[in-house]
Amino acid sequence: MFENLQDKLNTAFRTLKGKDRISDINVAATTKEVRKALVDADVNFKIAKEITDRIKETALDRKILISVEPGQMFVKIVQEELTELMGGKAEGINIKGDPAVILIAGLQGSGKTTFSGKLAQHLKKQGRQVLLTACDVYRPAAIDQLKVLGEQIGVEVYAEPENKNAVSIAENAVAYARKSGKKIVIVDTAGRLAVDEVMMNEVADIKSTIQPTEILFVVDSMTGQDAVNTAKTFNERLNFDGVVLTKLDGDARGGAALSIRQVVEKPIKFISTGEKMEALDAFYPDRMASRILGMGDVISLVERA
Amino acid sequence: EKTNDSFFGKLSKALVGKTTIDDDVLDELEDILVSSDVGVETTLKVIKRIEERVARDKYATTAELDRILREEIAELLIQNKSVDFTDSFETQHLPKPYVIMVVGVNGVGKTTTIGKLAHQFNQRGHKVVLGAADTFRAAAVDQLKLWGQRVNVPVIDHGMNTDPSAVAFDALKKAKEVGADVVIIDTAGRLHTKVNLMNELSKIKRVMQKIIPDSPHEVLLVLDGSTGQNAVIQAREFTKVTEITALAVTKLDGTAKGGVVIGISDEFKIPVKYIGVGEKMDDLQVFDRVEFVDSLFKKIG
Ligand SMILES: Nc1nc2c(ncn2[C@@H]2O[C@H](COP(=O)(O)OP(=O)(O)OP(=O)(O)O)[C@@H](O)[C@H]2O)c(=O)[nH]1
Ligand SMILES: Nc1nc2c(ncn2[C@@H]2O[C@H](COP(=O)(O)OP(=O)(O)OP(=O)(O)O)[C@@H](O)[C@H]2O)c(=O)[nH]1
Ligand SMILES: [Mg+2]
Ligand SMILES: [Mg+2]
């Protein structure tokens, strides 16, 4: 993909041989190629337009000399721009509070329950007392799933199998944590669609009842154009603090990461890179930018054995 | 519906008395398709077809143009050629037991789709057996067993962390014994990039053939309707290790359009057979090309 894009860009530039600066015309042709590449990587098409327009300005501003490999140079500019768009300083999660409460939300099957387990293990390794809470009262065996993970990592799971009210389970879990000296409560919730009013109200109710110190929105890196709508609605309802990008051990280019970042302006705080409890990583904007452009990102993709 | 009308309204206005479509309209069509995850390549293909068609055919009315547009897109979605197209849940003409293996990447909705399928067959009085061959993901067996209880269908399982091929083997054996019409095998979610896990699918298939030589009769690849262009690669890679006979597209009850299946169906000649429109047992529909194409032009975000 990356070579592909670079080649296309080289071709676009070749037509202007002899000129020593990037001009309006060849930048227009090349930005069109970049835009296509971004959309192919699942960056939302509107956002891809915005970004390439901005890149066009930058490229013209910098008056870059057309080198032997103008395509490569242009890709580099794009890569830098994307990195910056996804960047900012690395932000941790807020675990202050007694207990600190972390709410996990997102679409069906995005990887919330798996991530909840991973985060619990990660915090446990830092020597903290963690409680996992099973608030998915709908999906068959959702509670069992979390319990199995809890057992694997040696973290207690709070559940009320007979209680169908997720809000009260969350509330009781926090009370239980306080009583039993747990410092962090991680609340796993059911998957829900942004258009499902009843379910969106439920998670909003959980939020207002337990007042989380941190709310994380979990999103599948394979998500397409719709990522922006979902992220926007979840953010409107929850004003979440950060994003978790999952299934990055695959070969999805992950353009949704860029779209979401643009639409809700919230940092990506973790990436999930496998089914095992260890497969959790920090987010690196430059790696993600390379990945979206198809430049490969071996380092953060390799699943740990 | 509003936007729907306005797009076609605009399109026809721009086309009255013309033999070519103007760029603005094509740009708008491009936006609609791309925003439905149709993908740049397939979108350009659709646009080219429409340009050719408009240049070739004369159209008199807006309605006609509207129809041309929809037809051209629907044309890319290949028809389900199996005899059971009109009612996918009839089993009389099928081998008995009819073996369906369900595959796909993590979290797309395989297990849920199996529960819904079992319900559909069961409701029509067909005898169903399920095989819990996802022995890997936490509580996957329990999840399928709960679906079995919910729709009143037996589930064969060997518990967690057992050999999935052995479960599939036993499920087929059991299905034969009890004279089941349909047996559906759940498999663990696997990313197509994981070679070992992909090879495991071939093994499950080989082992099943010891009981029923021409099984599985159907390999259903489940795709998440909110997935973008990676779904194309999923289709390609799963096709490499096992012959995919049909697609199921899930989670179309949300705002995602699942447009990526247009290119997939066209490129790999695999029909979309079912769509998932919710989490309940009745939330499964037989795929309808025309309805699907219509939905692309609704609620443009
Ligand atoms: N390869 C891979 N699989 C993952 C990753 N994260 C989660 N999964 C798998 O994705 C599937 C769905 O994960 P879950 O954690 O159950 O997702 P969820 O969001 O809790 O799902 P619901 O509760 O049904 O909404 C499971 O098969 C997980 O093992 C990841 O980073 N990489
Ligand atoms: N809204 C909606 N949710 C669905 C649909 N199909 C499945 N789901 C949900 O998606 C989540 C994942 O579904 P599963 O059936 O567990 O997916 P899977 O492919 O078996 O997952 P793994 O076995 O972990 O790979 C669950 O929360 C389901 O309830 C659908 O058509 N619409
Ligand atoms: Mg879950
Ligand atoms: Mg499953």
Chain-chain contact of A275 with B193 (C-beta, under 8 angstroms): no
> Rounded to 5 degrees, what are φ and ψ at B143?
-60, -50
- Contacts of residue B191 in chain A, CB cutoff 8 Å? 247, 249-251
Judge residue B69's burial from the number of C-beta atoms within 10 Å of its C-beta, 0-12 exposed, 13-18 middle, 19 or more buried. buried
Kindly report the length of chain B: 301
Full-model pTM? 0.94
**Cβ neighbours for A250, distance < 8 A, ≥ 6 positions apart:** A221, A222, B105, B191, B192, B193, B230
Run of H or E including B141: helix B140-151
pLDDT for res B55: 77
Closest Cα in chain B to A32: B40
CA separation (Å) from A60 to A55, A66, A67?
8, 12, 15
pLDDT digits (tens, 9 = 90+) for B131-164: 999 999 999 999 999 999 999 999 999 999 999 9
Measure CB to CB from residue A195 to each of B145, B254, B257 and give the nearest one: B254
- Tell me which of A55-64, A149-158, A205-214, B226-235 is least confident: A55-64
Integer Cα distance of A125 and A130 in angstroms: 10
pLDDT digits (tens, 9 = 90+) for B25-42: 778 888 889 999 999 999
Integer Cα distance of A65 and A55 in angstroms: 16
pLDDT digits (tens, 9 = 90+) for B75-102: 999 876 654 445 668 888 889 999 999 9
Chain-chain contact of A222 with B228 (C-beta, under 8 angstroms): yes
Q: Compute the distance from residue B111 Cα to the ligand 4 centre, in Å.
A: 4
pLDDT for res B147: 98
Atom of ligand 1 at shortest distance to CA of A110? 19
Atom of ligand 2 at shortest distance to CA of B134? 23
